[in-house]
Chain A
Amino acid sequence: SSSDSFRRWLCVQLQYPHVTVIRGYLSAAASLQSSAPKMAELGAGSLLTGDPAFNYQEHELNERLKRLYPAVNEEETPLPRSWSPKDKYSYIGLSQNNLRVHYKGHGKNHKDAASVRATHPIPAACGIYYFEVKIVSKGRDGYMGIGLSAQGVNMNRLPGWDKHSYGYHGDDGHSFCSSGTGQPYGPTFTTGDVIGCCVNLINNTCFYTKNGHSLGVAFTDLPPNLYPTVGLQTPGEIVDANFGQQPFVFDIEDYMSEWRAKIHSMIARFPIGERLGDWQSVLQNMVSSYLVHHGYCATAMAFSRATETMIQEDQTSIKNRQRIQKLVLAGRVGEAIDATQQLYPGLLEHNPNLLFMLKCRQFVEMVNGTDSEVRCFSVHSPKSQDSYPGSPNLSPRHGATNAHVHNTGADSPTCSNGVTPTNKNKSHNKYTGVSSASSSPSSSPSSVNYSESNSTDSTKSQPHSATSNQETSDSEMEIEAEHYSNGVTESSTRIMNGTYKHQEILQADDSSVDDSCSSRQLCGGNQAATERMIQFGRELQALSEQLCRQYGKNATHKKMLQDAFSLLAYSDPWNCPVGQQLDPMQREAICSALNSAILESQNLPKQPPLMLALGQATECVQLMARVRSGSCSFARVDNFLH
């Protein structure tokens, strides 16, 4: 078959035997895993011990630490999970996965004191950090110290005796703040007691707990990067640490909730004063520019009327961008490229990288059977697959899906246009009739009887003949503005978007749509389409080589091309290791990039200020963690996105 021949061609072109393609994927997957070293390490550890109870404890630990310290990035600042076998005095013995500490020296006098530190210092991003130590045995004299110390502090001592060392001692109940003489602090503690140590990284204080009761502040003005530390001094002393392996005796989450509430109310009550008016107009501009950026034309116009703000871009331009985005999101990248070239001549010529990305995507969509270049062949094949039902629409992510904002690292969040997978079924179309004009060219939509199943309007199946893409895309925009009110109340959108009954869509050949995924075939299963795809693949390869000659080697391009071509290495591209590319969600990134490029070419910001602000806020919170401002833990951006 033609796909087989293409596969052979592909192997020659890329000088990759079939298997290498797959191996290449595997190595990519491996490198992904190595970027999370913690996981790999833990996996190895549990393999070695092979103890199911230990695995369970590890799992508990991970879950608890994630819940207690969500702001901590463990790749940057790992959390303490056990005592360090390397950072201890020789009189200290460790056992039970380095959680149990016992004394093995002579214990004659204070010169025989010995300490051990945890594996890692306490990250500032914890906000509030807590660990507990259970006194298993007080040994001969019960000279035990529980506390904190900086790296490098002498381990031949009890915590608290030296500079940058802090401790609470069991024999006299005194606290030792970098001094050999203690201050009366709390009760004494002995066998059976559970002593907790809480470090508040917001105000740099520390308090202890005994058997679940807070004993009050012990230290203030603590320096950063302290390690949990315990010290013992007489034979028989044994203590067990709990860094989160088990539930804590003290209700630390309740304490954290108080500080979360404090920080939130501090933010909520941030004084605005006389700048109130300025703030309002800034906020209005942010909302307005966001709507414009994503092309919510009618909503943006209504908003600007209501708030008396100006929109810089003219309405036609917004609608043009909107139309192009629509095409990309529908998987019709070829048409999107044509439209871009027609409306913004020179744009893609000046952005060869973007053009290449678009073409790669076009190739993927050809495999998918959605691009119009292959779609036109598939008219006689009723089984051909259509991705429109699942394609992303223009509603930005909301609510739960916002988590991605925080993973973007140094990059400011992009204006990702997406829809959660759950919307897939909702936006499925209903067909009330099959178009007879099925052979019409793809660029001109055939007339379709169509109704939005989740439309609030009861009008269904209104036959309507579309005359141009321009109009169709507009009216569809209105439908979406209705469904995704984007913060504007339902009733007001209804007023603004009075024209939403036009129910055209861009789809040309809806007759060919089949909801069932099992029948998906390469290029819609059409021979001619497949040949067109192969030809397009060759053109793409040529473009890549041309760019390579012109601008030098580009690893990203190479990877992109490889991934796209790799789809053909499998008989069922949708269920193959690189099949994710075919997911309609993958169109969002390229759609956003194209939109930004167009805006930039019009001397408009390529990012909506709202997203920029969001990105800055996210960055700022991460920066706070790095400069050891503990309140970042309770000021997370997603707490404020509802």
Chain B
Amino acid sequence: SFKCLVEEVTATSRHYVDRLFDPDPQNVLQGVIDMKNAVIGNNRQKANLIVLGAVPRLLYLLQQSSSSLELRTECAVVLGSLAMGTENNIKSLVDCHIIPALLQGLLCSDLIFIEACLRCLRTVFISPVTPVQLLYTDPTVIPHLMSLLSRSQHTQEYITQIFAHCCKTPEHQTVLFNHGAIQNIAPLLISPSFKVRMQALKCFSVLAYENAQVSMTLVNVLVDGEQLSQVFVRMMQRDKPIEMQLTAAKCLTYMCRAGAIRTDDNCIVLKTLPCLVRMCSKERLLEERVEGAETLAYLMEPDIELQRIASVTDHLVSMLADYFKYPKTSVLDHDLKHAHELRQAAFKLYASLGSNDEDIRKKITETENMMDRIVSGLSESSIKVRLAAVRCLHSLSRSVQQLRTSFHDHAVWKPLMKLLQNAPDEVLVMASSTLCNLLLEFSPSKEPILESGVIELLCSLTQSDSPALRVNGIWALMNMAFQADQKVKVEIVRALGTEQLFRLLSDPDTNVLMKTLGLLRNLLSTRPHIDQVMSSHGKQIMQAVTLILEGEHSIEVKEQTLCILANIADGNTAKELIMTNDDMLQKIKYYMGHSNVKLQLAATFCISNLIWNEEDGSQERQDKLRDMGFVDILHKLTQASDPNLCDRAKTAMQQYLA
């Protein structure tokens, strides 16, 4: 019976462990060898031996200098075999401190023993359950591993594989770089062993990722007299194994993104990009298609020329549509995972493709069911897919034409609004940024979004800790206020609250400040709106304007502020707030004589509005300002070299002449 069988297995396992404690070293050795033969490919046996405490004893024997080399080696082999089992096995081994023990073993001079230890370490480190930090705890380990690279093809394979898996952060990259990883590993790229070449290549891809220092060094490395980039190009040849082509393309992509290779270099334009497009083909494995699309998206993100080339290469845009044909519903978990991975990779690549060129965006939206796919992607269960879908939508929303047509036709604002509720920050950033574009004045979606009561949500974004979310919140409000009804403006001011408005005017992030000023400017447009807002919030606004004009701010900020002042000066009642404020008038005078033309222009606008003829009390205002010396300044400005400024000053002067 089954129970009987289990007991039997346990009994034999027990026997194997008992033999490890035999007083005769010969018997112990034979016991370890028998154990080795018993555990190969037998996961239950492995689990049994671990439960019965074989690991600490094996580690003890491995570490004892009194043990024979043969015994120590066999122990390392058995431990390596145990590590090949389930993730639980690895956890148990790591808990027994197998890593420091094996690393210690590497100090031995015997190559066979070193190789057995490295093989086991390799298996442990490439498991997702092993904390990679364990490789870096002892600072002597990395240099020692570097020195072992010269010992044999096996040490090369295992060590490079460990590095490739354990280099996860910029700190790891720096440690490996500082210990000569590049010089030590570069020669392995032309090793006679495919496995060594492949693992060395993987090392370079993880080392170069978002690392300018590594990338800049890599371009100058020669391998057997050949530039490293050319070695990578050869590895991308179409008769090479796909894994090698893909990894070499990643290396070149990372070097390019880190600024070490120009985006118009032939090795990128004619080799890396086409190679990555090929990886997206239906013939490739799912994992390869995902990695290929993600890497390609990353490669061309900042470069419109690469985006244009990719968009016509091998029908990439329609090839990506196939990524959505993998079954969405499946009983198998890993099928679902593949489906998610494929879709998010496709969305990312579409986002990158369409980020700059209007024609490409058009091509993407015209791809079969594309907008429907994005819309349904926005509400998928997987966060990764939702994020990628909204990124794609954001990229496409930069197109005026698409906003007017496909975005409206597919009512993308609905799922977008839904996405904005309770989403994680990274999704929120993308979604709110997209919303900003949907709220542009020519967007037909603006009306329904307003009606959906989005203002509260946007106002809450302006209170976020994330500057990106604050910017997007206030930006969206700014777009919303542009040429809006009085009702909407009142609602914005009410919902945001003056307190929050003034808090935003002192925001440490310049972008937030700029957009807030923009909002103010949009609120203060058309005369009745100006007078109404100023009658209720005039005092605070004037205070804020004073503060900004007195503070240390950029030209753009001050220009925007002077524009607000000019808007105020355009109001019927509001302009009195300036006329009665001599301090403010002095400030305007100062900026009319500023060295920056933009500020001069904005300040002149303001005065021009104040002295405009056809309005009540214009005579008094003209007189006061003449007395304050503004006419002289205006006269001087009519001689200005800048034609706009000159015109504006002349127009203002005419008000006096009339």
Contact = CB atoms under 8 A, between A and B. Distances in A.
B315 interface: yes
Nearest to A258: B238
B314 interface: yes
A210 B309 CA distance: 10
Contact of A214 (B237, B239, B314): B314
A213 B313 contact: yes
B313 A258 contact: no
B312 interface: yes
B238 A257 contact: yes
Contacts of B313: 213-216
Interface in B437-462: none
A213 B309 contact: yes
Interface in B305-333: 309, 312-315, 319
Given A213-B274, A213-B309, A214-B274, A260 B239 contact: yes
Contacts of B315: 215-217
B633 interface: no
A409 interface: no
Given A186-B312, A216-B315, A251 B239 contact: no
B312 A187 contact: yes
Interface residues of A, number: 16
Nearest to A211: B309
Contacts of A210: 312
Given A212-B270, A213-B309, A214-B274, A254 B314 contact: no
B312 A255 contact: no
Nearest to A257: B239
Contacts of A255: 238
A457 B492 CA distance: 101
A187 B317 CA distance: 13
Interface string B270-282: 1000100000000
Most A Cβ at <10 Å: residue of B237, B238, B274: B238
A261 B241 CA distance: 10
Most buried by B among A187, A213, A214, A251: A213
Q: State the main secondary structure of chain A at its contact with B.
A: mixed
Contacts of B270: 212-213, 251
Interface residues of B, number: 11
A261 B238 CA distance: 9
Interface in B368-389: none
> What DSSP secondary structure best describes chain B's contact surface?
loop
A261 B245 CA distance: 14
A215 B313 CA distance: 5
A215 B239 CA distance: 20
Given A212-B270, A213-B274, A214-B274, A254 B312 contact: no
A254 B309 contact: no
Contacts of B314: 214-216
B274 A261 contact: no
B317 to A, nearest CB: 10
B273 to A, nearest CB: 8
Contacts of B309: 213
B239 A261 contact: yes
A217 B314 CA distance: 7
Interface in A247-296: 251, 254-255, 257-258, 260-261
Interface in B121-149: none
Contacts of B319: 216
A215 B238 contact: no
Contacts of A212: 270
A273 to B, nearest CB: 25
Nearest to B308: A187
A588 B237 CA distance: 43
Contacts of B274: 213-214
Interface in A509-534: none
Contacts of A254: 237-238
A258 B312 contact: no
Nearest to B271: A251
Interface of A: 186-187, 210, 212-217, 251, 254-255, 257-258, 260-261
Given A187-B312, A212-B270, 9 more contacts: A186-B312, A213-B270, A213-B274, A213-B309, A214-B274, A214-B314, A215-B314, A254-B237, A261-B239
9 contacts: A214-B313, A215-B312, A215-B313, A251-B270, A255-B238, A257-B237, A258-B238, A261-B238, A261-B239
By Cβ-Cβ distance, the 7 closest A-B pairs, closest first, are: A258-B238, A216-B315, A261-B239, A257-B239, A216-B314, A187-B312, A254-B238
